[in-house]
Amino acid sequence: MGKTDKKQSPQKPAKAGALDIAEQLGLKPGQSLELLKALHILTREGKLNQDSRRKLKQVYHLYQFIEPLLTELSKDGHAVTLADHGAGKSYLGFILYDLYFKALDQGRIFGIETRAPLVEASQKLATELGFDRMEFLNMSVAESTRADFMPSQFDVVTALHACDTATDDAIAFGLEKQAKAMVLVPCCQAEVAACLRQTKAMSLARTPLAELWRHPIHTREMGSQITNVLRCLYLEACGYQVTVTELVGWEHSMKNELIVARYTGQKKRSAAQRLHQLLAEFGLEGLAGVRYPHLPQTSAV
């Protein structure tokens, strides 16, 4: 009897499920469901793919930071250019195009990625969706900085989890292209950790602070931490105002630091000094010319 009652009770699930998906995804008017299926955020049947949902959450969160920048930078009516480095499957580029660029008749997104199959797949998808102001380049960030067919100026540079030093290369790209804004979520970082490892014995003898990177896991984490601190100082020294926050809750990604840099033209001398001091303190002077070529020499180091 109870079972029969349950069966006969008002049935809402199918509709509620559909509503849930729209709500859970925070779909916006005009947003392409075909795109979300192609990115495997929705299954072919239109159901939510829980694994990809995490990525969408990160991308949406980033969009909240990038959209106001795009709006502000395009106020004068010029066509905004955005370069997304280490694009991968180009979740970020596609969502930005779908939600922002699609409604405009100008503006362009370049996705830069070293893995050829991903670049081909993104180009194909952009063509299928008619996202004709998206371009995908199969090259490294550093190569794209030197490529003479690239625009000489970019408004916004993004790099979402671009591996290792690709984030540094994205910063170098942004500086070269006089980017008005850079939005960076750094990934794993090995370069500084390798330097720390090399000088560990010496540092431990010299300063108790070297305990902070004595154990291998600490070396890796300190390496990442120091790298991001140096990146922020470098951007400030090069005329950017920098904010550092969390991208989304830690349950969504271990690499969760969001660096937003806005060009103001005010080159902070104190940041340059601090950067030099930190490089010296951690025995990283060798990185100065490679990673921070625009860093002015300061006398008070």
Please, which residue, 85 or 180, has the CB nearer to ligand SAM? 85
Q: Classify each residue of 165-179 as buried b or exposed e, where b means 16 or more C-beta atoms within 10 Å of its C-beta.
A: bbbbbbbbbbbbbeb
141 binds ligand SAM (CB under 6 A): yes
Distances in Å between the Cα of 61 and the Cα atoms of 35, 67, 71, 82 are: 18, 10, 16, 17
The span from the CA of 84 to the CA of 112, in Å, is: 6
Of residues 142 and 278, the one with the C-beta less far from ligand SAM:
142
Measured in whole angstroms, how far is the alpha carbon of residue 27 from the centre of its chain? Answer: 22
Give the one residue of 169, 186, 236, 242 binding ligand SAM; rule: CB under 6 A. Answer: 169
CB of 198 to ligand SAM, least distance (A): 23
Q: What angle do CA 124, 125, 131 make, to 5 degrees?
A: 105
CA separation for the pair 70, 48 (Å, rounded):
29
- Closest chain position to ligand SAM (CB): 88
Contact call for residue 163 and ligand SAM (CB under 6 A): yes
Q: Does 52 bind ligand SAM (CB under 6 A)?
A: no
* H helix intervals, 152-215: 166-176, 191-198, 200-206
**140 is a contact residue toward ligand SAM (CB under 6 A):** yes
Q: Of 101 and 136, which has the nearer Cβ to ligand SAM?
A: 136
Least distance from ligand SAM to the Cβ atom of residue 143, Å: 8
By three-state DSSP, how is residue 70 classified? helix
Task: Tell me: does residue 49 bind ligand SAM (CB under 6 A).
Answer: no
- Does position 166 interact with ligand SAM (CB under 6 A)? The reply is yes
* 80 contacts ligand SAM (rule: CB under 6 A): no
Residues found near ligand SAM in the complex (CB under 6 A): 55, 85-89, 91-92, 112-115, 140-141, 160-163, 166, 169, 187
